[in-house]
Structure 1
Amino acid sequence: MTDDRSSPADPDESPDSEQSASREASSEETEASDATDRLSIADFHDASQEVGRPVLTAAAVSRALDLTHEAASEALENLADGGDLQRLSVGTDPVVWYPSELEDLTDRERVVVFPKRREIVVDRPAQFTRAQLSQFAHLADANGDDGYRYVVRPEDVWGTPHDSFDALRRTMRQAIGERSDALEDWVQSQWDRAHQFRLTTHEEGYTVLKARSAEIMGNVARQKLDEEHVHAPISDTEDWVREGAEAAIKRILYEAGYPVQDHRDLESGEALPIDLEVRLRDYQRTWVDRFAEAGEGVFVGPPGSGKTVAAMGAMAHVEGETLVLVPSRDLARQWAETIADFTSLEPHQIGQYHGGRKEVRPVTIATYQIAGMDRHRSLFDDREWGLVIFDECQHVPSDVYRRSTHLQSRHRLGLSASPIREDDRQQEIFTLVGPPIGTDWEALFEAGFVAEPELEIRYVPWGDEEQANAYASAEGREKYRIAARNRGKVDEVRYLLSAHPDSKALVFVDYLEQGRDIAAALDVPFLSGETPHHERRRLLDEFRRTERDLLVVSRVGDEGIDLPTADLAIVASGLGGSRRQGTQRAGRTMRPAGGALVYVLATRGTREEDFARRQLQHLGRKGITVREETVDRDGDREDR
């Protein structure tokens, strides 16, 4: 009986079960319908970002967006019917989906925004698009095949040249071609951060730190600053700043994510009319205009892009007494000569202040070391500068150079080909000097203003067994030193010079002994820090006049002197140096004349291989093609 009763369906429960199943099915259908209605091409891009590829299956979309497979499939079909997606049958998984714009990548510009990563990927961008993007984003990567990856960083938003967020938002939409609410919301949050604090001058002459609200003053500034920075509160939103603490306050709040607007009434010093006697290129004029709007900034551009001339354009705008800070006396002399050549200033208005000369004039060029010394600083502190220029400003965060940033002026300007530091303190460059202002390298290459050099890493075998055995038994830094001084590189330098007999060439080394050996083998001068200044000047002048076509140069050539342009640069050692050093050495060939070559020699099978790739990697991101080639003992070369 029990079996008989249990076999048929219970008449009392059956209708409820059917109704429950019906409700569940209806709920699933509603969910699928809702998903179909709300799935957009932007959602597809989000899924693509999460999965890490632009071509997706329905299963991948369902997992990424937490949908049923049926709902995802139907939504994808709807997007395909609307023309946003394309479908392709590939066999094992019957259909894959991809954005329609992927079909015509080769024919037109395409912009894809990844708001979660704050990245903008652009294929075949128009010059207008790149110009707009450069106002609020950083060019992080250029793959050499017309593909560009921009990253929107806080410092890019903080330094944007716009007077209002509405103006910045218009620029973003012009660059991207559409509205991206998530990215715009984040950019607005950074814009708001950049306008929470400002330094002003009280009517009695002292400096005041002002906050937009009492909450931001109490929760940020008064938590981060102490009696070394401020005397006392003036109100809920104002603090009385200690004299000389302004730079430290700007740095501390910048690191906390709140850049300070500097609205102090600094003196401009004596008026100094300056006419620029050379025409600025369009991008240089843009740099100067952006500097004029902000009152400060860092001109960032590759070697050869004319940062020095643009800086003189800034001098002509300010028309005030100017202090130029440089790393060495050689650069001080070259700055003085360039200013005399390209502006209306007379030689008696231009002074140099360093170990060789002690002149303070309306325009003074001094070394960082001298400007930071207590016994000399008063000379610079007592003068009211309208503008302070920091050449090679990537050095500014270092302990030696930082003291020079305490000098106060109405305007400040930095120059750098590569504002990066191996100690990751590059953000301090922008807090101590000003926001980055520049044009992406690829645009300058395309316009012909700067020649794109051809870079090639050449993996060289050991010159003899003795050095190879010494490397195998060495440890730590000694391994790098032995690999760097591989005597096989002398033969490779000879080979490269013979392959380019008509080139003006510079051979770079890190070690004095290696430099002397290569110079002796080639019977040419070796220019190093030990070379007397008058001899150094003579050799460089001969190279400029093409009376000499080959020099071996030590690290002194990286930044301390203004080396003349070369057609050929060979880096025989120095791969353990910084990424900035790689930029500087490559930059010795980056001038409007084309056909420049840079060869980087690395000892095969050693740590130098990794050093070479890492040092030049960031140049590859800027659009420069980097090749690799292995050199065999018998002289044959094998491309990688």
Structure 2
Amino acid sequence: MPADAQPPAPDGPLIVQSDKSVLLEVARPGADEARRAIAPFAELERAPEHVHTYRITPLALWNARAAGLDAETVVHTLITYSRFPVPHALLTEIAETMGRYGRLQLVADPAHGLVLHAADAPVLEEVMRSRRTTGLLGARLSPADVVVHPSERGHLKQVLIKLGWPAEDLAGYVDGEAHPIALREDPAGARAGTPGAFALRPYQREAVEGFWAGGSGVVVLPCGAGKTLVGAAVMARSSTTALVLVANAVAARQWKEELMRFTTLTADEIGEYSGARKEIRPVTIATYQVLTTRRKGVHPHLDLLDSHDWGLIVYDEVHLLPAPVFRMTADLQARRRLGLTATLVREDGREDEVFSLIGPKRYDAPWKDLENQGWIAPAICTEVRLDLDARQRMTYATAEASDRYRLAACAPAKVGIVDRLLARHAGESVLIIGQYVDQLTEIAEHLGAPLITGATTVRERQRLYGAFRSGEVRTLVVSKVANFSIDLPGASVAVQVSGTFGSRQEEAQRLGRIVRPKEDGRQAHFYTVVARDTVDQEFAAHRQRFLAEQGYTYDIVDAGDL
């Protein structure tokens, strides 16, 4: 019986359509299982209350293939959960798209160095005739093999994925300069509850093994699930010099503290390369900001990436990777590269650059799975909608389109909503998060709470974060500088008053500030305060898409009902 003729599941939660869209009815039996099953190869597009829309894209299929998922498994998943027969043409398209990954391979050749090998010679002929590969390929060795200059390894992979023939990189890596690093893992002490003792969690161990088996690539874990520890374990496995790239100086110092806690590295072995310090040590932690600083049209610090014999490069928050670091990474394909992130979503659509230059997704742990296992705190997400008054509505209606989001996001009535939410969660540690500094300044002054923005010194940020962790400060107002790589385990409530337009990855990062497990088992609460019937509401719906894919739902309440 042909695959598409198999009897559909009468109550199946999926409707699979020939345009590569997949509709998931969230109230149907098995909807949660189906969502988890399709997540590795389908991307969520829309997530209203009852029907979520996914799309099967080539990049998602290639990521799934690189992670070991084959076309047969994808097809079986769709047929198993679909209420109606799956279109045969789509099943064929899935098989053919996944079959494109690995038809071209980059391999090391003892006589010729780096070689592009084709399992299918006509494919090699096709890409060689493309103008995009001009200058990237050298001598033709055989109908199936052509020499590649080592410096063009990354550039060629970028071109090949654009041509629809993603290369499997099997060329291996240089060892880099050896440097002993070991984990301070103490499983017995961790089980006994010994202070300071730790053991890798099962999913962290799987992430390390998944990365190492592939050589380079991305590990996707929820915020609060211990991505830094995964990075430390990979560094210990490598036992070489390492360059760690992070979002900001606060994150750099947090990484240093964690590495000293989890590994045998000492303070003298770890350098910070930021705006304030320029230390190069066996393990060097550099900020994206300093690497991308331009002087007279050049980036003077980018040569740090290539001037040392690193055995491993770690890209923290890899979804933030700026264009200059992408360009330099193209030249670093002989180094092992580990990307760490909570979400591979990039609003600029450059996910294929991450795939081709850092590597494919090697491990992905769904948020809800880790929540169900108790590794991250359960979270309740609530969207609070308020009405603009008549004067504000008229101001909004007559404003230029470019000004409308700021007007709606900074609605004065949001201050009163913050008051009511703080009263509801009296005694808890609360983060007030927003995009606009003047709005945050007003809220901080109204509450008498400290404020952290980009203008706050690193020393003052660390002091305030420390006071928040200790409970000395219960309410902290923060701008987007707190979106990334900030460990605030005691935070149990976040109130988002404005954001970076419709950024899905920012929404995930902000929820991530509060999902570290609480000692008393409390749930986390994530509130988004939104002006009704404005672009603020539209952007909020877009922001929620990634978290909806992870299984979170947003209750919508009227501000008057708080």
Which band: TM-score by shorter chain?
A: 0.7 to 0.9
The one-character-per-residue Cα deviations of 1:462-497 (angstroms, maximum 9, x if unpaired) are 3x6654443232121212211121111111111110
Identity, % of aligned positions: 32
Q: Label 1:571 to 1:261 Cα distance change in 2 as closer, same or farther (>3 A).
A: same
Cα separation, 1, equivalents of 2:356 and 2:317:
15
The answer as to whether partners of 1:557 and 1:563 remain within 8 angstroms in 2 is no
* C-alpha separation in 2, matches of 1:367 and 1:230: 34
In the TM superposition, residue 143 of structure 1 has moved relative to its aligned partner by 8.6
Matching of residues 517-528 of structure 1 within 5 Å: 517-528=442-453
What's the CA shift for 1:365? 1.0
Match of 1:617 among 539, 545, 548: 545
For 2:35 and 2:470, how far apart are their aligned partners in 1? 38
Q: Does 1:349 align with 2:274?
A: no
Counterpart Cα distance in 2 of 1:509 and 1:222? 50
1:137 is aligned to 2:41: yes
Secondary structure of the residue aligned to 1:628 is strand
Superposed CA deviations along residues 167-209 of structure 1, whole A, max 9, x for unmatched, are 875797699779x996876555344321222223343674332
Q: CA deviation at 1:260?
A: 1.2
1:158 aligned onto 2:62: yes
Residue 532 of structure 2 is matched in structure 1 by: 604
Quote how far apart the aligned CAs of 1:392 are. Answer: 1.0
Q: Which amino acid aligns with 2:437?
A: L
Q: Secondary structure at the match of 2:544?
A: helix
Worse-matched range after superposition: 466-475 or 182-191: 182-191
| Cα contact 1:301–1:307 (8 A) shared by 2 | yes
What does 1:323-342 align with in structure 2 at a 5 Å threshold?
323-342=243-262
CA contact (8 A) 1:206 1:243 kept: yes
CA distance in 1, matches of 2:342, 2:377: 15
Conservation of the 8 A alpha-carbon contact between 2:154 and 2:333? no
What is the CA–CA distance in structure 2 between the aligned matches of 1:479 and 1:151, rounded to whole Å? 31
Query: 2:181 aligned with 1:257, yes or no?
Result: no
State how far apart, in whole Å, the 1-side matches of 2:439 and 2:241 are: 45
**After alignment, is 220-229 or 168-177 more displaced?**
168-177
Match for residue 323 of structure 2? Answer: 399
Q: Which amino acid aligns with 1:42?
A: A
> What amino acid sits opposite 2:110 in the alignment?
E
Q: Secondary structure at the match of 2:335?
A: strand
Does structure 2 retain, via aligned residues, the 8 Å contact 1:141–1:623? no
Contact 1:210–1:237, Cα closer than 8 Å, also in 2: yes
Quick check: which has more Rg, 1 or 2?
A: 1
Measured at CA, do residues 339 and 616 of structure 1 come closer, stay the same or move farther in structure 2, by a change above 3 Å? same
Instruction: Tell me: CA distance 1:371–1:162, structure 2 relative to 1, closer, same or farther (3 Å).
Output: closer
Aligned 8 A contact 1:324 1:366 in 2: yes
**Which structure 2 residues correspond to residues 352-367 of structure 1 after superposition, within 5 A?**
352-367=272-287
Distance 1:375 1:440, change over 3 A: same
Deviation at 1:528, TM superposition (A): 0.3
* TM-score normalised by L of structure 1: 0.74
Within the candidate set 311, 318, 341, 1:386 is matched to 311
3-state SS in 2 of match to 1:245 = helix
Point out which structure has higher relative CO (alpha carbons under 8 A, 6+ apart): 2
Q: In 2, are the aligned partners of 1:528 and 1:553 still within 8 Å (CA)?
A: yes
For residues 225 and 235 of structure 1, the distance between their equivalents in structure 2, rounded to whole angstroms, comes to 21
Residues 1:549 and 2:474 aligned together:
yes
Deviation at 1:382, TM superposition (A): 2.7
Is the aligned partner of 1:305 residue 2:230? no
Structure 1 counterpart of 2:193? none
Residue 175 of structure 2 aligns to a residue whose secondary structure is coil
Alignment of 1:398-477 (within 5 A): 398-406=322-330, 407-436=332-361, 437-462=363-388, 467-477=392-402
1:152 positional shift: 5.8
Q: Find the aligned partners of 2:524 and 2:240 in 1 and give their Cα distance.
A: 39
**Across the two proteins, how many residue pairs are aligned to each other?**
531
Distance 1:160 1:627, change over 3 A: closer
For the pair 1:42 / 2:28, whether they are aligned, the reply is no
1:200 aligns with 2:125: no
Say which of 177, 180, 192 aligns to 1:270. Answer: 177
Taking structure 2 as the reference length, what is the TM-score of the superposition? Answer: 0.83
CA 1:214–1:617: 2 relative to 1, 3 Å: closer
Q: Which SS does the other structure have where 2:129 is aligned? A: helix
Task: Please tell me whether the aligned partners of residues 312 and 335 of structure 2 are also in contact (alpha carbons under 8 angstroms).
Answer: yes
- Given candidates 315, 318, 329, the residue that maps to 2:235 is 315
Amino acid at match of 2:178: A
Post-superposition shift, 1:409?
4.1
Question: Using the alignment, how far apart are the partners of 1:468 and 1:171 within structure 2?
Answer: 49
Answer yes or no: is the 8 Å Cα contact 1:459–1:603 preserved in 2: yes
Measure the CA separation in 2 of the matches of 1:609 and 1:175.
33
Paired residues of 2:43 and 2:57 also in contact (CA < 8 A): no
Structure 1 residues 312 and 245, CA gap change in structure 2 (3 angstroms)? same
Query: RMSD in angstroms over aligned alpha carbons?
Result: 3.6
1:497 equivalent in alignment to 2:432: no
After superposition, the Cα gap between the structure-2 partners of 1:621 and 1:160, relative to the gap in structure 1 and judged at 3 Å, is closer
Equivalent-residue separation in structure 1 for 2:397 and 2:377 (angstroms): 41
Distance 1:335-1:130 versus aligned 2 partners, 3 A rule: same
CA contact (8 A) 2:496 2:529 kept: yes
**Counterpart for residue 629 of structure 1:** 557
Measure how far apart 1:606 and its partner are. 2.2
Q: SS at 1:257's partner residue?
A: coil
- Deviation of 1:240 (Å): 3.1
Aligned-residue offset at 1:516: 1.1
CA-CA distance at 1:579 after TM superposition: 1.4
